[in-house]
Amino acid sequence: MDSMSYRFESNSKKFTIDFEVSGIVKGYFPHTGLTAREGICVLYRRVGEQQWFNIDCNSSLTKFTVMMSHFVKKDELYEVLIYGPIISHLSKLQVEVSDDDYASIVNILPEKTMLVAGGSNSHGIGCTTTGFMFSNIIERKFDAEVYHTTFHDKNYLEKIYDYYKNSNPPVVDICILELDYFSQNESVVEEILPEVISLMKKRCKHIIGWYTIPSIKSFKKIIANNIINKFIDNDEIEVIDMSYLYDENYRHMCTFNNYYINDAGNILIYKEIEKSIRRLAKWSI
Amino acid sequence: MEYLKSIDDPLTKINENNIIYFDLFDYPDLVFGNPFQTDKVNFCKYDENVQKEMEEEGGFVHKTMQQFKSCTCGNRIRFKTTSRRLILKVEFSEPYYHKNMLLYNSSGFDVYIIDDDGKYHNYSLIATKEGIRTFAKYIAIPPNSSVCIFLPNYCSIKRMLIGLDNGSKIYKLKYPKANELPILFYGNSITQGASASKSGNSFPNIVSRKLDNDIINLSMVTCCRGTPKTAEMIGNIKCKAIVIDYSRYAPNIEFLRNTHEKFYRKIREKHPDIKIIIMTAASFNEWKEYVAYDEVIIQTYENAIARGENTLLLNQSELFDYEDYDLVSIDIGHYTDYGMYKIADKLCELLTL
């Protein structure tokens, strides 16, 4: 999955979005929103301002109109951000404004680049809309180009390894790697995780690793730390332990069960990673 | 989980040997949050007068009342049992799913075990696939468990059977004496629970867990319009405190001006002393109209204070940092759990002042 966001700016008091998705993965997803799976999510901000606001999301494959006059003054310039779905493919995305109004595609300048690699949590499983994936929050808050190498697959680490070994991953400032591997085969992880970190390090300046492992699986945390300790000692990776999301004070708000986190969990992961990004890259929001 | 054609079908995947079922609808003592319980469970939270009032509004309002009047938002099944096995067999009136809501919320059963200190521990979360009307689910529970099940926020249950080990016992699980009188919530789709990630995470349900207090949640999408018959109905329900979250379904500012304070005062007439918390509009995307809505709501509050009434204000927009506005709700105001918990924490603080 590559970058999944699309931006344009306009001064139109309304615009219409026409989109189609294909390759919808059917299955049991009581923990993931319909629009996250097969729809889009729309936000806006005023040009020159930093703060984004959610407008709405949609999953029906029909045109829908957004009345921007509810939010902005007449002729005020605004920017719109559209996120695509996570387990289907956005095959068509058209935006229409009146002929009398201005609209232009916005490309993010590649001044800040990141790559998010990981499993189901990084892929957005557990989110109501894709706007709440921690990677997409990072993308819009930092105005960064964020690439996704994420898989809804418990053996995601092997796939990340394959990607780094056999493809041509982008060179980025920061890689954010999910280390939350408790559903994966330990011996595979012991072999592959060091390889992934080494390969990744060749394609980025900083690696931020994170995991959130429930206490009943805390032995996995020990194994993870044993594997990555030498990388930590050599300052090759910074690791954030988010296991408190499964503690009594947070689990009701942030998780569904011992496997999946929700929007609130993603928000807290963003807030932790954001601090590391700012410190490592000296970027501000 | 096993999907069924009929709730009375024998189970083929789940072992129901030596399980005895009882019909939940015959045991209203086990179901909390319904103001009009009789000798049968009655999930409809609106009296005939309110239903008629909504019928007179016509169109979408009437249709919505028909669809959601018996929806189980804010309802809980509470019991203590010696059984170690629990089978829930459920038939929905109509399966419901929505683009902005997870199935764990709209049609989810959020199961908690309550410890001896009254603390709730989430234990199991149940939801079907989209479009499924009837299902059975087995849950293994520790012996002598105190169980609280938060019911779906946007579905109605037509029938529900609870299966327990043959010979086991089941008892009503009351709230602590001081917390039996319910806190009443009146609001909109947000207060009904959209878009929490699961049914137990609507802010009224979080408040009920945090305070271990009974609640009645009279909130409903579209139908929250501050009408006289609704105020009269609320005035007649015995309760500990009332939370009014009326704003977004007033169709325009004039409508809100004409109804908000009247609605509050009609309730206050019948409940002269209890705490009433008035909430401003949940608005996190700078929708211009809601600024004026908040002015009307704040005026109602200030007038109440001037009269010396036991009334508090919860300003929803001011509760959150501006930089978090894109994290609080998925659209204008439908809270994520991050937002739901913050609102619930503030309400608990105000309710226990």
> Which residue type occupies B197?
S
Per-residue pLDDT at A184 exceeds 60: yes
**What Å distances lie between residue A31 and A26, A125, B102, B126, B127, CA to CA?**
14, 7, 6, 10, 9
**Per-residue pLDDT reduced to its tens digit, B154-164:** 999 999 999 99
Q: Please confirm whether the linkage preceding A10 is cis (ω < 30° from 0).
A: no
Tell me how close the Cα of A117 comes to any Cα of chain B, in angstroms. Answer: 22
A118 in contact with chain B, both atoms CB, cutoff 8 A: no
Question: Cα–Cα distance between B198 and A253 in angstroms, integer?
Answer: 10
**Per-residue pLDDT reduced to its tens digit, A260-275:** 999 999 999 999 999 9
**Which chain B residues are within 8 Å of A35, Cβ to Cβ?**
99-100
Tell me how close the Cα of B288 comes to any Cα of chain A, in angstroms. Answer: 6
Question: Cα–Cα distance between A248 and B26 in angstroms, integer?
Answer: 35
Fold observed for domain A113-281: Rossmann fold (3.40.50)
Tell me how close the Cα of A189 comes to any Cα of chain B, in angstroms. Answer: 30
CB contact under 8 A, B330 and A54: yes
| Tokens, residue A285 | 């929001």
| Tokens, residue B7 | 């709730």
Per-residue pLDDT at B348 exceeds 80: yes
Kind and range of the H or E run holding B94? none
Per-residue pLDDT at A1 exceeds 60: no
CB contact under 8 A, A52 and B326: yes
B338 in contact with chain A, both atoms CB, cutoff 8 A: yes
CB contact under 8 A, A33 and B101: yes
Which residue of B200, B209, B336 is in closest CB contact with A263? B336
Tell me how close the Cα of B321 comes to any Cα of chain A, in angstroms. Answer: 11
Question: Cα–Cα distance between B181 and B179 in angstroms, integer?
Answer: 6
Q: Looking at chain B, which runs of residues are DSSP E strands?
A: 2-3, 19-23, 31-32, 76-81, 85-92, 109-114, 120-126, 134-140, 145-150, 157-165, 170-172, 183-186, 215-217, 241-244, 275-279, 311-314
Kind and range of the H or E run holding A239? strand A238-241
**Which chain A residues are within 8 Å of B197, Cβ to Cβ?**
31, 126, 128, 256, 262-264
A31 in contact with chain B, both atoms CB, cutoff 8 A: yes
Domain B2-38+71-172: homologous superfamily in CATH: Galactose-binding domain-like (2.60.120.260)
A58 in contact with chain B, both atoms CB, cutoff 8 A: yes
Within 8 A by CB and 6+ apart from B73, the residues are B151, B152, B153, B154, B192, B193, B199, B202, B217, B219, B220
CB contact under 8 A, A32 and B102: yes
Side by side, which strands form the sheet with A103-106?
A53-58, A40-46, A78-83, A5-10, A103-106
- How many residues in chain A? 285
Domain borders along chain A are 5-105, 113-281
Mutate to test the interface with B, among A25, A31, A58, A142 (most CBs of B within 10 A): A31
**Which chain B residues are within 8 Å of A257, Cβ to Cβ?**
125
Pairing of strands B134-140, B85-92: antiparallel
| Tokens, residue B81 | 């049992």
Per-residue pLDDT at B335 exceeds 60: yes
B 289-308: CB under 8 A from A: 289
Question: Cα–Cα distance between A84 and B266 in angstroms, integer?
Answer: 48
pLDDT of residue B95: 83
Which residue of B127, B206, B331 is in closest CB contact with A30? B127
CA-CA-CA-CA torsion sign (B270, B213, B347, B206): negative
pLDDT band at B51 (very low <50, low <70, confident <90, very high): very high
**What Å distances lie between residue B215 and A27, B208, B278, CA to CA?**
35, 6, 17
**Which chain A residues are within 8 Å of B104, Cβ to Cβ?**
30-31, 256
pLDDT band at A221 (very low <50, low <70, confident <90, very high): confident
pLDDT band at A182 (very low <50, low <70, confident <90, very high): low
A166 in contact with chain B, both atoms CB, cutoff 8 A: no
A13 in contact with chain B, both atoms CB, cutoff 8 A: no
CB contact under 8 A, A263 and B330: yes
Backbone angles phi, psi at B26, to 5 degrees: -90, 0
Q: How many CB atoms neighbour CB B340 within 10 A? A: 27
The structure's pTM equals 0.97
CB contact under 8 A, A128 and B288: no
Among A198, A199, A208, A212, CA closest to A278: A208
Domain borders along chain B are 2-38+71-172, 178-351
Which residue of A140, A251, A267 is in closest CB contact with B122? A251
Tell me how close the Cα of A230 comes to any Cα of chain B, in angstroms. Answer: 36
pLDDT of residue A284: 78
Mutate to test the interface with B, among A130, A258, A267 (most CBs of B within 10 A): A267
Name which of A68-82, A179-193, A204-218, B69-83 the model is least confident about: A179-193
Which residue of A28, A33, A267 is in closest CB contact with B100? A33
Q: Give the mean model confidence (pLDDT) for residues B74-82.
A: 98
Which residue of A29, A39, A251 is in closest CB contact with B99? A39
What is the second-level CATH architecture of the domain A5-105? Sandwich (2.60)
**Per-residue pLDDT reduced to its tens digit, B190-237:** 999 999 999 999 999 999 999 999 999 999 999 999 999 999 999 999
**Per-residue pLDDT reduced to its tens digit, A114-131:** 999 999 999 999 999 999
Please work out, in degrees rounded to the nearest 5, the angle formed at the alpha carbon of residue B111 by the alpha carbons of B109 and B115: 160
Side by side, which strands form the sheet with A145-150?
A145-150, A113-118, A172-178, A204-211, A238-241
pLDDT band at A217 (very low <50, low <70, confident <90, very high): confident
Q: How many CB atoms neighbour CB B198 within 10 A? A: 30
pLDDT band at A226 (very low <50, low <70, confident <90, very high): confident
**Which chain A residues are within 8 Å of B326, Cβ to Cβ?**
43, 51-54, 131, 137, 140
| Tokens, residue B333 | 């105001």
B 26-85: CB under 8 A from A: none
Question: Cα–Cα distance between A158 and A231 in angstroms, integer?
Answer: 19
Tell me how close the Cα of A188 comes to any Cα of chain B, in angstroms. Answer: 31
Q: What does A51-64 look like in DSSP terms, one character per residue? A: --EEEEEE-SSS-E
Helices of type H across B212-312: 228-235, 253-270, 289-306
Within 8 A by CB and 6+ apart from B68, the residues are B154, B156, B192, B220, B221, B223
pLDDT of residue A220: 77
**What CATH class has B178-351?**
alpha beta
Within 8 A by CB and 6+ apart from B140, the residues are B84, B85, B86
The DSSP output letter for B329 is: B
- The β-bridge partners of B135 are B3, B90
**Per-residue pLDDT reduced to its tens digit, B30-46:** 999 999 999 999 999 99
